[in-house]
């Protein structure tokens, strides 16, 4: 069975405050909190792993290692609001890596998830990643997408369950029933 070549990428990404604030659902951040976030960013950045699979066309996987997952889980138990913000920080880091390597994703485009096939699953397993049939990886903070960019929503394995596409129409939801 064919195995796609895996290459670890070294991606240097700056802290994107705008993306973080959107993910953390905050409108402003105090100075001391910003300093703390930057400290976590600096400490956790080396734990972000980014791999490409294939040569000219293939896939990109970005994930945060277990040490950071465990630390966020502990911090979440101490303070759910801090845990939520630190989870958003890690998500910001992963999005930053994707945008650096796949500029077409930009700020409004999603990273389409590929169909979990045998070759892809075996290739990911070589670097310790497991791709489940529902399209998720075995790391809490992770993303798998096409590399280079491929179309967007039309190619996404998760299209039928995507909340951005499949939200119910809210028209009339809050109107009083007519008798």
The C-alpha atoms of residue 14 and residue 36 are separated, in whole angstroms, by 15
Write down the pTM of the prediction.
0.86
Whether the Cβ atoms of residue 96 and residue 14 lie closer than 8 Å to each other: yes
Q: Which long-range contacts (CB under 8 A, 24 or more apart) does 137-140 make?
A: 137/61, 137/63, 139/63, 139/64, 139/65, 139/66, 139/69, 140/64, 140/69
What domains can be seen in the chain, in order of their start residue?
6-166 (3.40.109.40)
pLDDT digits (tens, 9 = 90+) for 72-109: 999 999 999 999 999 999 999 999 999 999 988 876 67
pLDDT of 99: 92
pLDDT band at 157 (very low <50, low <70, confident <90, very high): confident
Name the burial class of residue 157, with classes exposed (0-12), middle (13-18) and buried (19+) by CB atoms within 10 angstroms of its CB.
Answer: middle
């Amino acid at each position: 069975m064919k195995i796609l070549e895996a290459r670890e990428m070294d991606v240097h990404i700056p802290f994107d405050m705008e993306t973080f604030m959107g993910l953390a659902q905050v409108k402003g951040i105090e100075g001391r909190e910003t300093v703390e976030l930057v400290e976590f960013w600096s400490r956790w950045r080396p734990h972000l792993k980014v791999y490409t699979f294939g040569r000219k066309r293939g896939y990109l996987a970005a994930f945060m290692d277990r040490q950071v997952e465990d630390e966020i889980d502990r911090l979440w138990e101490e303070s759910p609001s801090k845990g939520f913000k630190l989870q958003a920080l890690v998500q910001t880091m992963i999005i930053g890596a994707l945008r650096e390597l796949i500029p077409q994703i930009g700020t409004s485009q999603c990273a389409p998830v590929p169909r979990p096939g045998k070759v892809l699953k075996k290739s990911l397993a070589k670097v310790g990643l497991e791709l489940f049939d529902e399209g998720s990886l075995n790391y809490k903070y992770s993303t798998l997408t096409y590399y280079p960019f491929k179309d967007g929503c039309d190619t996404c394995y998760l299209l039928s369950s995507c909340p951005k596409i499949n939200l119910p129409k809210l028209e009339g939801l809050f109107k009083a029933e007519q008798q």
